[in-house]
Amino acid sequence: MSKNQNNSQSDACLDDSGYKYPSKVYTSFSFGYFVRSFLFTVFAARVFAFYENEVRLDVTLVLIAYVLYGFWNMINDPLIGYFSDKPNRFWNKWGRRFPWIVATGIPYCFLIIIVFTPPNLDATTHSMFIFGWLLFSICLYDAVYSGWMTNYYALFPDKFRSDKERRKIAGIGSPLGLLATALGTLLPPLFITYGDKQSYVIAMIVMAFISFGAFLLSLPGSKETKEMIDCAHVYAEENKKQDSFFKSMKIALKHKNFLAYLLAYLAFHSLITIMMASIPYIVPYILGLPASSEVYIAAALLVGQLLGVILWAKLVGKVGHRNLFLIGLFWAVIFLIPLIFFQGLMMLVILIGILGFGLGSIYLGNQLVFSDCIDEIVIDTQKRQEGIFLGIRTFMVRLSIIIQAFTFWAIHLTTGFNPGIENQPDLAIWGLRIQFALIPLILMLIAGLLFGLLYDLKPEKVELNKKKLLELNL
């Protein structure tokens, strides 16, 4: 293939003129936001509580499983990103990302079921067997999750190059992601009965098929165009010698903007994970209500976030991606304070709605900020290796689950929480309040300060980077 042909294909991929695709492509791709957020919320909100409260596995063993799962993620997520960037024979026909998306997306939708189907054994006398099931099932589930999510999100900055396209996807995908987060919290209680493990299995089967339906809707928008496939072929020819895994990791982490984004992203996901996973404790032990009452909390979060996304979508062009993120971080700090001291379901619902309104800015700005970071790294390295960066970001998502596990373990042990008794001691009740709101508050405060200090991709610099990408044919 001649150099002129290569350049013409690069130019086709680099079209930054506005909207390149029909609206149905943007809508279809945006359903991936739903797939990702829906099962992540179900997993984060239910697994720890299920194994501690229902299976009655010792909380320390649950923590150890989560820690080992975290070590697995340290290797699994970046490696999947690295190998998905490595040229292979499927690139010429199917593209760089689509084969990974299909091959890992289907099992991702259904493997959530086996996490909630441990053998029906006594967790006291067969604790190690139950522990092994928990560890194996969450690691297997995570492997396919990482394969799908890394390649789905790596496709975003490559396929959609202009700010108009990226904001259009964020404007469609963010509400879908928020809806998924709310439904991932709202729907399981409709099937779950506290004390009935089989009800969790039924709930997960329903969740799996809902996720699979959204996944099928996302596939048309996740296909790579012929121009992109041709560009992938050119890239493969020109980059037969790929950077080593550790060199790629070093390159990714030396960029302070990307590092600042990762810390903020970790804090945000830790907040969501800890708060969602705390609801199955808050409802029965603080509010003294059945599982169905969780629906009101999820509905408040959904309404607040959707209203927030509508407002922030109108303001993003004026405030910029960086400020949009900062607003969400410090909004959370302010409104998590009263959530420590809430009294009754009504007050909790109102406060969750207000918190969700502000968090809508992070949902909307997340992929925009990430894409700005990727553009900067691509300019520096003069290579497109989004997979490794997505692998690192995916690890941050999983690290938030480890933070949640450590938080629950430490607080439950130090405050005397006992899932076997209905009326918890006062210290245990305060422990649940601290894990629900105070710990996320501290994480968001630290992240907000660091992000404001380190992240300097303001609108002028973002626009300059886009011009450099065009000049470099990247």
Mean pLDDT of 24-38: 90
Contact 261, 452 (CB under 8 A): no
What rounded mean pLDDT belongs to the chain? 85
Sequence-distant (6+) residues with CB within 8 A of 57 are 51, 123, 127, 130, 131, 134
Distance CA 306, CA 312 (A): 10
Report the Cα 71 to chain-centroid distance in Å: 18
Tokens of 448: 């907000």
Is 405's pLDDT higher than 80? Answer: yes
Determine the pLDDT at residue 385. 65
- Bigger pLDDT: 225 vs 375: 375
Residues 6+ away with beta carbon under 8 Å from 367:
153, 156, 166, 169, 170, 173
Identify the domain containing residue 237 by its residue range: 21-471
- Other C-beta atoms within 10 Å of 474: how many? 16
The C-alpha atoms of residue 336 and residue 355 are separated, in whole angstroms, by 7
pTM of the full structure = 0.75
Q: Is residue 12 part of a domain?
A: no
Residue 402 has what pLDDT?
A: 86
Q: Quote the pLDDT of residue 247.
A: 66
Tens-digit pLDDT profile for residues 293-309 = 888 988 898 889 889 98
**pLDDT exceeds cutoff 90 at 207:** yes
Q: What is the DSSP letter of 193?
A: -
Looking at the domain assignment, is residue 10 inside a domain? no
CA distance 372 to 458: 10
CB of 396 closer than 8 Å to CB of 85? no
Look at residue 33 and tell me if it is in a domain.
yes
Number of domains in the chain: 1
* DSSP assignment of 413-424: HHHT--TT-SS-
Q: What is the pLDDT of residue 7?
A: 46
N- to C-terminal Cα separation, the chain = 18
Q: Which residue has the higher pLDDT, 383 or 176?
A: 176
Q: Tens of pLDDT along 162-175?
A: 778 878 887 888 88
Q: Which one is predicted more confidently, 199 or 237?
A: 199
41, pLDDT greater than 90: no
* Residue 293 covered by a domain: yes
Cα 278 to chain centroid, rounded: 18
Report the SS3 class of residue 120: coil
| Mean pLDDT, range 257-284, rounded to an integer | 92
Query: Is 93 contained in some domain?
Result: yes
pLDDT value of position 379: 85
| Structural tokens at position 26 | 């943007």
Establish if 194 belongs to a structural domain.
Answer: yes
pLDDT tens column, 336-375: 999 999 999 999 999 999 999 999 899 888 888 988 888 8
Report the interhelical angle of 256-281 vs 245-253 (nearest 10°): 90
Domain CATH for 144: 1.20.1250.20
User: Tell me, what DSSP letter sits at residue 242?
Assistant: P
Q: What is the spatial distance between Cα 260 and Cα 229, in angstroms, rounded to a whole number?
A: 32
Number of helices (H), then strands (E), in the chain: 19, 0
Residue 139 — very low, low, confident or very high, per pLDDT cuts 50/70/90? very high
Instruction: Give a yes or no: residue 6 inside a domain.
Output: no
For the stretch 54-113, pLDDT in tens is: 999 999 999 999 989 888 877 776 677 667 666 666 666 677 788 889 999 999 999 999
Domain membership flag for residue 8: no
Q: Which residue has the higher pLDDT, 171 or 118?
A: 118
